[in-house]
Amino acid sequence: MNDLTLDPLKRLTSDIVKGAATLSNAEARFLVDAYYMMQEDRKRSYNQERSLVESNEPHAVITWFAEQSELLEKQVSRALDAYSAAHPVGEWMREIDGIGPIIAAGLLAHIDITKAPTVGHIWRFAGLDPTTKWGKGEKRPHNAALKTLCWKIGESFVKVKGKETDFYGKIYAARRELEGARNDACAFAEQAKAIVVARPTHAQAKTYKEGKLPDGHLHMRAKRYAVKLFLSHLWEKWRKVEGLPVPLPYPMAHQGHAHKIEAK
């Protein structure tokens, strides 16, 4: 861009990338959050550039900004790639369809496996325990950034469900079908009733009043099921790598359940 004198961003040197393997968890958390913000900045910038081009308006600076955002995003990605690849559990996660270097880095940075004697501790910390409640003025019991990351994981599993090598996307699809059948049989009538009582003006109030959950609700339930199963496999793998106790899941240890879905 000849009409601009702005300096380009500096690229990460190979030494810096190698050093990224030893990032602290706090540094990795910051970079994961920064990566997703840069990704959104890049998308917004290119959308703005497209709009200006279509209206035949000047757009040189916007183009420059979009390119710099994309470059910085890629550089941060390189650092997080090195960080997640340096951990044996990170390597395991990266082999899973739908879990890339950035998501793996986020999970490694946000979860302290030594403070999770059961997978339920991770579910609650990630905001995936629907029984968890907190009142006004009370500290939120879950990690908002980790909850967002788990939402991204769920969306990613949905996107890869058609791949032959996929595992968790197919878990989502099977669960979505099961949830649909249960919904048709009005198995969620009590839940639907409670929702419509609490939110009578909800956009899907008619569906709830019929004793059923709308498709979007079923989609979220199936995604949550797949993500929680993935986290249970991650918890077991990570605890074993660290030489920590791995007790049986509560339903198997205390309720006589024998079925367990093993990791691929």
Q: Among residues 127, 122, 119, 96, which one has the least CA distance to residue 111? A: 122
DSSP codes, 68-100: HHHHHHHHHHHHHHHHHHTSHHHHHHHTSTT--
The string of pLDDT tens digits covering residues 47-101 is 998 889 898 898 888 888 888 888 888 989 999 999 999 999 999 999 999 999 9
The string of pLDDT tens digits covering residues 118-151 is 999 999 999 998 888 777 777 888 999 999 999 9
The string of pLDDT tens digits covering residues 201-256 is 888 888 999 999 999 999 999 999 999 999 999 999 999 999 999 987 655 444 44
- Residue 100's pLDDT is 95
Question: At residue 257, does pLDDT exceed 60?
Answer: no
Gap between the Cα atoms of 256 and 171, Å rounded: 23
In eight-state DSSP terms, residue 131 is T
Under 8 Å CB-to-CB from 250, ≥6 apart: which residues? 118, 120
* 261: confidence class by pLDDT, cuts 50, 70, 90: confident
